[in-house]
Structures are given as C-alpha cells and as structure tokens.
Amino acid sequence: MATVQMPDPFAQVPSLGPERPVVWPARTRRKLANGLEVVLVESHTIPKFTGELYLRSGNAVAAANAKSPGLAEITATVVRTGTEKRSSRQIEEDLRRIGADVGTSAGADTTAIGFNGLAEFSGDLLKLVAELAQQASFPADEFERERRQMIEGLRIARTTPSFLASERMRRVLFGSHPYSIIAPTETQVKEYRLGQLVEFYRTHYTPGNALLIAVGDFAAPQMMEQIERIFGSWKPATVPVVPDTTLPELHGRRVHLVHLPESVQTQVVVANHAITRKQPDWLRLALANSIYGGAFNSRLIINIREQKGYTYSPRSGVHALRQHGYFSVNAAVRNDVVAASLTEIFYEIDRMRSLAVGEDELSDARTYMSGVFSLGLATQDGLASQLSTVYLNELPDNELETYRQRVRALTAADVLAAARRYFDSPNAQITIVGDHGQIGDQARLFGEVTEYSAEPE
C-alpha cells in the first residue's frame, strides 16, 4: 500500500470560484388611471409578501409650507389609530388576526405606510392599507396621546449623543433649508392642531403623489388586478411642491460643540455637502466612501479601531435626500482621544484626496460593492428595499441590472476625482457631543468653536 502525501489545504487562500449569474427578477409596473404608480415583483422564498405605500411628501414640505416641523411624522403616526370603519383597537386586532404588521412613518422627503403579512391574506391587508391612506379618521383622543408620546420620545432623544450630533450637524449644513431640522421642538409639538394633520393628510395622501411597491409570494398579474380593485377609487388631487432653498456656503472648518454634562464618551461627526442619488457621480462617490470608511475593511476602521482602539463602530456614509446630499463620518470615541481621532479622520480624508488608490484595493472595493448589492436579491425585504431606492429616486428602469457592471468599470481616477470633489476636507464641519470640560481644549485645535447646550432652544 502506498501512502499518499496530502497537500496542506491551508497553505494557500482558496481562490474565488466562477460566479453564478445574478439575475434580478422581472418587475410589473403600471400607472393606474388615478395616478398611483405600482411596482410588483414575485418572490416565492416564503409564503408572505411585503411592501410600502410611499407618499412623496415628508417633514421637509411640512416645515417649509406649513412652518410645522414634524407634522408629517405626527400625521403618519395618527393615521394608524383610526379610520372611518375601524377603531384603533380594531385595526390592531385585525392585523394580528391575519398575521400582519403595518408601520407608518415619515422622513424628510417621504411618508411611508409599510406592510408585511401572510400571502393568504393579502387582500385583507391591502384593504387596510388603502383605508389608512384614504379614510383615516384622526380621533382627537388618539392624537393627544400620540402628541404626549412624541414629546416624551423627544426628551429621551435629547439625551442621546448620536441624536444630538445629527441634529446639530444638519443645522450647520442646511441652514434655512428644511433639511436642517431632524425633529421638532417640544413647543412645536405642543402647537400642533388636529386640523393641521387633517389638512396635511388631504393634501399629500393622494394617488398622484404615491408609489406602491410590493414583493412576495403572489402572481403579479392577479396582484395587479387586486390592487386596481382596492386602490382604483382613490381620488386624485394635485400636490404642492417643496420650494428649494439655497444652502449656506461653508468656508473653513468650524467646530460645533454640544455640551452634554457627565458624558463618558464623545460623539464625533465630520460632515460636508455632497450630492443626490440621481447625480452621475453617485457611484464614484459611493466607491470612494466604501474605501474610506464604508466597510469593515476600510481605511478609517483599520486606523482608528483596529490599530488604535479609539472607538468601537466608526463609519462614514453618503446620504442622499431628494434635493441635496451630504457626506459624513461618525465615531463615538474615548474622551481623551477626540483630537487624536479627528487627526486620523482628516489624515485619511486627505489621503483619499491626494493619492490614487492602488489596483488591489480598488478591485477589492469594487467586488465588495457589487457582492453586497447582490445579497439584496435573496430576501423579500432586500428586494423591496432595492426597488424603493430605484423608484423613489426615479432612477433608470435597468438600474439593478446594470449596477454591477457600472461598479466594475470604475477606475482609480474616478475615486480620486470623487474624493476631491465630495470629501470637502478644507470646509468640513465638525460636530462633537460631550462634556465640554473634558473635550473643549481638544476641540479648539481644529477651528473656531461654537458651543451649544443639549437642551432644546
């Protein structure tokens, strides 16, 4: 018997096998006679379906046109507490009876009625969603209860470092634009009147302002018929637009310190204006962000977490709102390394702005971006979220299909150009939230410091 010498399987990193093709499922799209846009995708992984009814109006239009920040949010919240046909309790029990969830919320640009449930009860769930969108009854007692809950929620948010940092950063970047406000003040919440909610609802919850996305275990043609039956009678109306306001011009780095007494850590945010999802540079910027601080393997995380241990979960991100966008770097760091962390954050930004990325790092980052994108294919939630990005931003219909090849075509020159344009190191705004006694001296090293209280203005 001969003994066979087995090669050591650990001697070499296994190379990647051949890729199986990534095939995005077909969409069924239709615009109903009343203007409602519908996008459907079949996904038979589990016997459920999920989706969103979006209205293209959110807190920005409420702040700009009704001078009432947060009005879209409180409207969405009260929408689920009663319709002309059902009480709050009835709604919740009906949902449980069919194994479904509904969530209503509003961001800056959109309001969403999200839903998911068992496919066998899809008609019942869609009928409830349609009722919420058309026949909400705004019970006065539910409104008062939600108002109080919102106030208590805001009080807690004002003790949360990440909230305080975002709030200040958005004020600095967006000035008099409604995007500067991420939450109302307590006084503003106390001033809401029920009539304002009803008015916002009548004006903005209309089919011409809406997009319905559904993904799940159904046959698309039958689902489309069902949606036409349920949503076809929704009355169209015209919707006011949000006026665009110019943004403040930010020259030079400044430090915005929010004093949070007794804070045992400092929340650091570095941010500057960038672009929206529709702009042609978006993908180049997304790749630059991924190399800088958007992935576990990115430069920022290797530096301030894995080499220096300043922070647990640093991240950079590119954030697209409908009219404007911004780039931001976030880290919650030890109080005695605020200056050291900022130094490294800017060092890594400046490196992105001055030196072209090497071929290996570039190729790794491209594979990362296209790989992670395809993970969205595997679940109903993942598909719904990809579709929302495409259709809310009015991107081309073949956005998903062409994404991977467009990522692969990006070059080191693209990354350098995007970093130079959108990682605006010289004019970046620094927000820090912490105890001023511990971090004030460190802050002053980075620019003129303006101090704010964590208490509402």
Partner 1 sequence: MNELHIPLETTKLENGLRVVISPDRTAPVATLGVYYNIGFRLEPRGRSGFAHLFEHMMFQGSEHAGKMMHIKLINSSGGVLNGSTHYDVTNYYESIPSNAVERVLWLEADRMRALKVDDENLRNQRDVVKEEVRVNVLNQPYGGFPWLDLPPIAFRNWANAHNFYGDFADLDAASLDDVQQFFRTYYSPANAVLLMVGDVTPDEGFALARRYFGSIPPGPPLPKADVGEPPFEGVRRGEVEEKFGTLPAFAVGYRAPERRTPDWYALAMLDHALHGGRAGRVYRQLVLEQQIAVDTGGGIQYPVGDLFDYNGPTLLVSRVLHKPEYSPDQALDAFDAVIDAVRQHGIEQGELEQVKVKFRSEYVSSLEGGHGASIPRYGLMHYLACFTLFDNDPSLVNSILEGFLKVTPEQVRVAAQRYLDPNRRAIVFRKPTKKAAD
Asked if residue 315 binds partner 1 (CB under 8 A), the reply is no
Q: Which residues pair with 271 in a beta bridge?
A: 328, 429
Task: Report in angstroms how near the CB of residue 351 gets to partner 1 at its nearest.
Answer: 17
Position of tokens 């850590």? 265
76-135 residues near partner 1, rule: CB under 8 A: 88-89, 92-93, 95-101, 116-118, 120
Helix (H) or strand (E) holding 359: helix 359-375
Residue of the chain from 30, 31, 159, 441 that contacts partner 1 (CB under 8 A)? 159
What distance in Å separates the CA atoms of residue 315 and residue 298, rounded to the nearest whole number? Answer: 9
Burial of 293 (0-12, 13-18, 19+ CB in 10 A): buried
Count of residues in contact with partner 1, rule CB under 8 A: 81
225-244 residues near partner 1, rule: CB under 8 A: none
Residue of the chain from 3, 4, 9, 33 that contacts partner 1 (CB under 8 A)? 9
Asked if residue 412 binds partner 1 (CB under 8 A), the reply is no
Instruction: Find the part of the chain contacting partner 1 (CB under 8 A) among 17-25, 203-211, 221-229, 230-238.
Output: 17-25
| Cα–Cα distance list, 361 to 290, 348, 456 (Å) | 11, 15, 44
What distance in Å separates the CA atoms of residue 293 and residue 318, rounded to the nearest whole number? Answer: 10
Q: Provide CB contacts within 8 A for 74, sequence distance 6+.
A: 143, 146, 147, 150, 189, 192, 197
- Map residue 67 onto helix, strand or coil: coil
Asked if residue 398 binds partner 1 (CB under 8 A), the reply is no
Task: Report in angstroms how near the CB of residue 166 gets to partner 1 at its nearest.
Answer: 15
Give the torsion through C-alpha atoms of 108, 113, 119, 123, to 10 deg. Answer: -150
- Residue 227 or residue 337: which is nearer to partner 1 going by CB? 337
Instruction: Find the part of the chain contacting partner 1 (CB under 8 A) among 238-246, 378-386, 390-398, 420-428.
Output: 378-386
Instruction: Find the part of the chain contacting partner 1 (CB under 8 A) among 65-73, 321-329, 330-338, 440-448.
Output: 330-338
258-287 residues near partner 1, rule: CB under 8 A: 262-265
Asked if residue 155 binds partner 1 (CB under 8 A), the reply is yes
Residue of the chain from 140, 241, 356, 372 that contacts partner 1 (CB under 8 A)? 372
Give the torsion through C-alpha atoms of 363, 368, 371, 373, to 10 deg. Answer: -120
Task: Report in angstroms how near the CB of residue 7 gets to partner 1 at its nearest.
Answer: 11
Asked if residue 149 binds partner 1 (CB under 8 A), the reply is yes
Residue of the chain from 208, 317, 376, 440 that contacts partner 1 (CB under 8 A)? 376
- Residue 260 or residue 270: which is nearer to partner 1 going by CB? 260
Q: Which residues pair with 114 in a beta bridge?
A: 52, 103
Position of tokens 């601080």? 293
Q: CB of 449 within 8 A of CB of 443?
A: yes
Asked if residue 375 binds partner 1 (CB under 8 A), the reply is yes
Instruction: Find the part of the chain contacting partner 1 (CB under 8 A) among 69-77, 304-312, 318-326, 423-431.
Output: 304-312
Q: Provide CB contacts within 8 A for 5, sequence distance 6+.
A: none
Residue of the chain from 191, 225, 244, 306 that contacts partner 1 (CB under 8 A)? 306
Residue of the chain from 236, 248, 382, 440 that contacts partner 1 (CB under 8 A)? 382
Structure tokens at 97: 């009876």
What distance in Å separates the CA atoms of residue 86 and residue 68, rounded to the nearest whole number? Answer: 28
